[in-house]
Amino acid sequence: MTNKKNSFSRRDFLTTTAKGAVLVSTAGLYHSCKSSTKTEKDQISDPVPEQISEQISGPIPKRVLGKTGLEVSILCFGGGSQFLKNKNGEWEKHLEESLKRGINLFDTSPDYTVVSRDGSKAFTSEERFGEILPAHRDKILISTKINEREGNGIARKSVEESLRRMKTDYIDILMLHAVDEKDVVSEIEAGVYADMVKMKSEGMVRHIGFSSMDSAQRSRDLLEALDFDMAMLALNPSKWGDYPGLAFPVAIEKGVGIIAMKVMRDIVGKAASAEELFEYSWGHEGVASSVVGNVGMEVLKDNIRLAVAYGKKPTATIDREELEARLAPYAGPHALCWARPGYRDGGIVV
């Protein structure tokens, strides 16, 4: 039975977070999902001097991603809108630095694109990955996504295009993109899920899963009904959507690996440090990795520093309940741009 008290929809928050919106100053919100001209200093929740960022020692910890058996770095490289904001000559360094520092999981999607103002596509995140990652293919893991819900091989065409753009002949993790309350489990099972299982059996993809930031309940439904290997789920101290309460228990019970997303770095400003937000994410049972995008090399280096430092901590250093109470006012579309109707990651206009 669904716990109605803890089951939140986007529509619920549009009507119930008006008071919370008053508590969060608009001026205090960071660029998060919009294209931005802010400097790197503006974008970092708790800036770290360059000399400190350079003092990165030790490996990024790895964890097993559930029943996939894959050992993944706790920091996953996000290829979405934040990555796409890095200009030519800079984004290449981001991938190279990540590879050098031990990040081995790289996430993207065909949706992550930059388009010109006349509507024509300029380039995609997958194409960027294809310029750097193939030389390191035997040491890294690549995840991408599909939007199709229909069967009859429609999703296969999308995967074939992704393979072409990334210059690889297999995908480590293929996810059904952006599961929400409109999705019908029986239709997915008879449609795209059957195709995903077939592509997995053929070796075209190694593991299958889905991503969701809009409906913890529908995520729970999918986890209960179908045999997915992993799930990428929203997780942050605002407790938006209550994924830990609704979806995580089923994933953990079935051995489904969890990648956390929407950590909220660069959204809450001084309300919480990046260190607190990452530790909150990594400290949840079942979480193998947290995916985050980076604008600017210092942000990337700082994230890597935090991942290395977290691996050296003997015990947790945050009070989870206190942090949740502190960031509760951010739980809604007024503060979380990705919780607004019609939001999509990517599609940056230049």
Structural domain spans, the chain = 4-349
Identify the burial level of 62 via C-beta atoms within 10 angstroms of its C-beta, where 0-12 means exposed, 13-18 middle and 19 or more buried.
Answer: middle
Buried/exposed 267-298: b ≥16 CB within 10 Å, e otherwise: bbbebbbbbbbbbbbbebebbbbbbbbbbbbb
| The two three-digit tokens of residue 27, written as one number | 């001026």
pTM: 0.86
Q: Is residue 132 predicted with pLDDT exceeding 50?
A: yes
Strand bridging mode 62-64 / 71-73:
antiparallel
For residue 319, the tally of other CB atoms under 10 A from its CB is: 11
Q: pLDDT: is 120 or 330 the higher one?
A: 330
pLDDT of residue 350: 63
Determine the topology of domain 4-349 in CATH.
TIM Barrel (3.20.20)
Q: Which residue has the tokens 């979380």?
A: 336
Distance CA 62, CA 6 (A): 32
Cβ pair 87, 350 in contact under 8 A: no
Catalytic member of 112, 243, 310, 330: 112
Is 280 one of the annotated active-site residues of the chain?
Answer: no
State yes or no: pLDDT of 297 exceeds 60.
Answer: yes
Q: What is the pLDDT of residue 55?
A: 57
Q: Per-residue pLDDT for 279 more than 80? A: yes
Q: List, for residues 3-51, the tens digit of each pLDDT value.
A: 433 333 433 433 333 334 333 433 333 334 543 333 333 333 444 434 4
Mean pLDDT for the stretch of residues 187-211: 98
Give yes or no for residue 179 having a pLDDT over 50: yes
Which of 31-35, 72-76, 209-213, 318-322 bottoms out in mean pLDDT, i.e. has the lowest? 31-35
Residue 7 C-alpha from the chain's centroid: 21
Q: How confident is the model at residue 231 (pLDDT cuts 50, 70, 90)?
A: very high
pLDDT of residue 83: 95
Q: d(Cα 281, Cα 245) in Å, to the nearest integer?
A: 14
H-assigned helices in 24-148: 40-43, 50-53, 81-84, 91-101, 125-132
Residue 95 is encoded by which pair of tokens? 């991938």
Contact 328, 16 (CB under 8 A): no
- 299 has a pLDDT exceeding 60: yes
